[in-house]
């Protein structure tokens, strides 16, 4: 592994991955400047994907209201895609009862057993 001082960032980054708790949030809430930064990244054409170890239910409101491409929750077990998103052929939910399309890494039987 190279020391960080020797790392060369890509010439044209395609996106930003970020933690949520105490990175995007302060005292458990997202600040207006952090929300604006997410919007600015999206406006610049970058994909924005926050990542958290928190459960799906905690993450759902953020996936529907923040300017992000997805939120990865449950330590990577699922990705929450905003409605009408189309990333890598994954279509977000259009049913009003299901505000997000949940894409699980594991199959249903594995998730139920945990």
Residue 62, Cβ density class (10 Å: 0-12 exposed, 13-18 middle, ≥19 buried): buried
pLDDT of residue 87: 52
Contact 29, 49 (CB under 8 A): no
On whether the pTM is more than 0.85, the answer is no
pLDDT per residue as tens, the chain (114 positions): 778 888 888 888 899 999 999 999 999 899 999 999 999 999 999 999 999 999 988 998 898 899 999 999 998 888 888 766 655 444 444 443 344 455 555 556 655 554
pLDDT of residue 24: 92
φ and ψ of 30, to 5 deg = -80, 135
* Domains of the chain, each with CATH number or no CATH: 14-113 (3.40.50.1000)
φ and ψ of 61, to 5 deg = -60, -35
pLDDT of residue 48: 95
d(CA 27, CA 73): 19
Structure tokens at 48: 């924005």
């Amino acid at each position: 592994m190279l020391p960080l001082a020797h790392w060369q960032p890509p010439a044209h980054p395609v996106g930003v991955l970020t933690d949520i708790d105490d990175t995007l949030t302060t005292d458990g809430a997202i600040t207006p400047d952090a929300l604006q930064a997410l919007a600015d990244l999206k406006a610049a054409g970058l994909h924005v994907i926050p990542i958290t170890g928190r459960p799906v239910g905690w993450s759902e409101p953020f996936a529907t209201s923040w300017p992000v491409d997805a939120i990865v929750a449950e330590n990577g077990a699922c990705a929450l895609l905003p409605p009408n998103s189309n990333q890598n052929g994954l279509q977000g939910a259009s049913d009003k009862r299901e505000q997000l399309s949940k894409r699980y890494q594991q199959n249903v039987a594995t998730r139920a057993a945990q």
